[in-house]
Chains A and B, each alone.
Chain A
Amino acid sequence: MQMLFMQCRAEMLRIIRNPYYVFWSLLMPIVFYFIFTRLVNAGIEDASEWQARYLMSMTSFSVMGSAIMTLGIRMVQERTHGWSVFMRITPLPSSIYFFGKMFGQMVMHMFSIIVIFAAGFLMNGVHLSAGQWVGSGLWIWLASIPFLALGTLVGTMKRVDTASGVSNMVYMILAIAGGMWFPIDSFPAFLQSIGKWLPSYNFGSGAWDIAAGHSPSWQPVLILLGYLILFMVLSTYIRKKQEAV
């Protein structure tokens, strides 16, 4: 128990002290939110609806980023620095090590959601019912799990440079093509049809639905579950192959 507690605490401390986390996961989405609701699309008709929707987009964008990048790059770093080798000779079970990481991440996701929601509320007075706030927050929180699995996939890469380059690119493509920056309806038809199968679109769409006042359909849930299984299987397979020396 002590072990588990210490591990979770250490992982949380490490994330919150990481300047990249604070910049990419908190500052960037809030700045984007400010730009696209206060400066660029300030005078549009259904402003309050747009402001609520875009708040969901930016929150999902933030959480998706920390899941893929913070987790993935850190895993590569720990391996290249020999730290994961050291962990293997300590009595800490690898399950607790892994759980500690996931727990730390999930707490940070929760924290990001609260901070960005609060920023939206303070900036634009985004008005949602209590149920919508909680529901969309929970959706973003839980649906971030497949992206953690994607993060562990990034974590199997050999070099920090590769991992950070690849994960940055994947992150940006997922965010833009999945309609997190600009609504997917404004894309050409073929991009829309691809985008709708991306995990990022399905991640956002649940939250958009809740913010618009209806419950999310089963489709995004199933697609995200599919991605979760895919990423987990891939990353387990690659790790097993790497360890078989």
Chain B
Amino acid sequence: MEHIAELQHVTKRFGSKAAVDDVSFTIDKGSIVAVLGPNGAGKTTTISMMLGLLEPTSGSVRLFGQTPKQPQVKQRIGAMLQDVSVIDGLKVREVLALIRSYYPRPMRLEELAALAGFTEEDLGKRAEKLSGGQKRRLGFALALAGNPDLLFFDEPTVGLDTPARRSFWEQVGALSDRGKTILFSTHYLQEAEVAADRVILFNRGKIAADGTPQAITAQLTSRSVTFTTDTRSLEGHALMSADTEQHIRERLLPVPGVHDCTCQEGRWTVTADNTDTVLAAIFRYQLPVHDIRTQQGRLDDAFEIMIHNDDTQGAVS
């Protein structure tokens, strides 16, 4: 598989603080990669180095086998960055035409307008007069202007409402179907899960985890099996005996991957890495339970602590 991007032992220091600390990864052609992490985890710094906007303090960054500053590389990439406003004094059509002229094989103007959802009337407007959402769509169109093979989106959905988010991810999916490689950053786990086929989790400048969204989600969230105990079948009245309680705990706690086994007002919650093994144990021992449900829990405490710590320390990226 062709490596579109390759980072080897990349470190970026600002003063004494390492914003990115010994990061290595490769990106395969056609993949959609989410760089996930709290603010200040080093996501934007990493993307800036991949775009050639920042020099790594040490280590190497290669896109298409070359350094990002090469013109041949720049002809094949496109990006939508944070804090980039629109150029003033030009109409939307003129801005698109201008940026298209920088690339050897640009995307057709009609196609760009369609992808950004610009009408003929929008195309005739001055860029600075567009609404916030339209400006964002112009940024999206500019990232695509050169018909790039590799696309970068830095926190693309911040400030977008739900329908706008959905349509953005639909378009990203469509671009991926056309063979484009996409790398985006986000601090929403759920977004990475839905949109990406690979997640690289950043924390404090290092890669904390790297894998499929399912694997990362499993790592970051707790899963549980809940059920009620059918006390009547044992005792004939609606009281749970200490014996039953004891029995359930004895059977389930030793099951591999089970973290906890608690009972609150008649409903049991068993947290575990793998809910399937818990279910198997329940049936194997024929435990007197019913109304069994499996649940994907909320974000693991670890992830929340990660975000929380970072908020108090201030962002670096």
Contacts and interface: CB of A to CB of B under 8 A. Distances in A.
Contact of B77 (A18, A86, A89): A89
A125 interface: no
Interface stretch (B99-107, B228-236, B284-292): B99-107
B84 A10 contact: no
Nearest to B145: A90
Interface string A68-88: 000000000110011101101
A14 interface: yes
B272 interface: no
Given A6-B97, A10-B98, A18-B89, A88 B75 contact: no
The range of chain B's interface size is 20 to 34
B85 A89 contact: no
Nearest to A78: B87
Contact of B74 (A14, A82, A91): A91
> Which secondary structure dominates chain B's binding surface?
loop
Nearest to A2: B101
Given A91-B71, A91-B102, A86 B84 contact: yes
A2 B83 CA distance: 29
Majority secondary structure, A binding face: helix
B142 to A, nearest CB: 7
B98 A91 contact: no
Given A10-B90, A82-B83, A83-B84, A89 B102 contact: no
A90 B51 contact: no
Interface string A93-136: 10000000000000000000000000000000000000000000
B173 interface: no
Given A82-B85, A88-B52, A93 B71 contact: yes
A2 B94 CA distance: 14
A166 interface: no
Nearest to B101: A6
B114 interface: no
Contacts of B84: 81-83, 85-86
A37 interface: no
Contacts of B54: 245
B89 A89 contact: no
Contacts of B53: 85, 88-89
B101 A89 contact: no
A241 interface: no
Interface string B54-83: 100000000000000001001101010101
Contacts of B97: 6
Contact of A14 (B75, B81, B83, B90): B90
Given A7-B98, A81-B85, A89 B71 contact: no
B88 A85 contact: no
A86 B77 CA distance: 12
B30 interface: no
Contacts of A92: 102
B156 interface: no
Nearest to B152: A89
B149 to A, nearest CB: 13
A18 B88 CA distance: 9
B183 to A, nearest CB: 13
B74 A89 contact: yes
A14 to B, nearest CB: 3
A240 interface: no
B94 A82 contact: no
Contacts of A3: 101-102
A100 to B, nearest CB: 10
Interface of B: 51-54, 71, 74-75, 77, 79, 81, 83-90, 94, 97-99, 101-103, 142, 146
16 contacts: A5-B101, A6-B97, A10-B90, A10-B94, A13-B90, A77-B88, A81-B84, A81-B86, A82-B83, A82-B85, A83-B86, A89-B51, A89-B74, A90-B103, A91-B146, A93-B71
Q: Nearest 4 A-B pairs (CB), nearest first?
A: A14-B89, A82-B84, A81-B85, A6-B101
Interface of A: 2-3, 5-7, 10, 13-15, 17-18, 77-78, 81-83, 85-86, 88-93, 245
Given A6-B97, A13-B90, 18 more contacts: A3-B101, A6-B98, A10-B90, A10-B98, A13-B89, A14-B89, A14-B90, A78-B87, A81-B84, A81-B87, A82-B83, A82-B84, A88-B52, A90-B102, A90-B146, A91-B75, A91-B146, A92-B102
